[in-house]
Amino acid sequence: MIVEEVIKSHIADIVKELYPDAPENAVQIQKTRKEFEGDYTLVVFPFVKWSGKPLEQTVKELGDTLLKRMDTVESINVVKGFLNIKLKPPFWLGKLSEYISAENFGFFAPTGKRFMVEYSSPNTNKPLHLGHIRNILLGWSVSRILEACGHEVIKVNLVNDRGIHICKSMLAWQKFGNGETPEQTGKKGDHLVGDYYVRFDREYKSQIRELVSGGMSQAEAENSAPVFTEARDMLRKWEAKDPETIALWEKMNGWVYAGFDETYSKLGVAFDKIYYESNTWILGKKIVEEGLSKGIFFKKDDGSVWIDLTGDGLDRKLLLRSDGTSVYMTQDLGTAEQRFDEYKFDKLVYVVGNEQNYHFQVLKLILLKLGYKWSDDIYHLSYGMVELPEGKMKSREGTVVDADVLIEEMLRTAREVSEELGKLNEMTDEEADSIVNMIGLGALKYFILKVDPKKTMLFNPKESIDFNGNTASFIQYTHARIRSVLRKNEGTPFSDRLNEATPDTKELELIKIIEMFPETVQLAGENFSPALIANYVYDLAKEYNQFYHDYPILKEENTANRNMRLALSYQVAEIIKKGMFLLGTDVPERM
Please report the pLDDT score of residue 399 as a whole number. Answer: 52
Residue 560 confidence (pLDDT) above 70: yes
Please state the rounded mean pLDDT for residues 379-392. Answer: 80
What is the CATH code of the structural domain delimited by 119-277+343-387? 3.40.50.620
Helix, strand, or coil (residue 387): strand
| CATH 3.30.1360.70 residue window(s) in the chain | 3-87
Please state the rounded mean pLDDT for residues 236-246. Answer: 94
| CATH 1.10.730.10 residue window(s) in the chain | 404-582
User: Would you list the DSSP string of 226-278?
Assistant: HHHHHHHHHHHHHHTT-HHHHHHHHHHHHHHHHHHHHHHHHHT---SEEEEHH
**Lowest mean pLDDT, pick from 199-208, 254-263, 265-274, 396-405:** 396-405
Q: Is CATH 3.30.1360.70 the right assignment for the domain spanning 3-87?
A: yes
Candidates 136, 134, 41; CA nearest to 81 is 41
Separation between Cα atoms, residue 502 and residue 100, nearest integer Å: 18
Q: Which helix (H) or strand (E) holds 429?
A: helix 429-449
Cβ neighbour number for residue 495 with a 10 Å cutoff: 14
CA angle 555, 560, 563 (to 5 degrees): 65
Residue 222 confidence (pLDDT) above 80: yes
Which residues, in sequence order, are bridge partners of residue 75?
86
Please state the rounded mean pLDDT for residues 401-415. Answer: 89
Please state the rounded mean pLDDT for residues 304-322. Answer: 94
Separation between Cα atoms, residue 130 and residue 395, nearest integer Å: 11
Rounded to two decimals, what is the model's pTM? 0.91
Candidates 317, 334, 328, 339; CA nearest to 162 is 328
Could you please state the CATH topology (level 3) that the domain comprising 404-582 is classified under: Isoleucyl-tRNA Synthetase; Domain 1 (1.10.730)
Please report the pLDDT score of residue 394 as a whole number. Answer: 46
Instruction: Specify the length of the chain in residues.
Output: 591
Cβ neighbour number for residue 528 with a 10 Å cutoff: 24
Residues 6+ apart with CB under 8 A from 182: 188, 189, 192, 255, 258, 259
Helix axes 189-213, 243-267, angle to 10 degrees: 120
Residues 6+ apart with CB under 8 A from 1: none
Q: Where are the alpha helices (DSSP H) in 450-588?
A: 461-464, 472-488, 505-515, 517-527, 530-550, 559-582
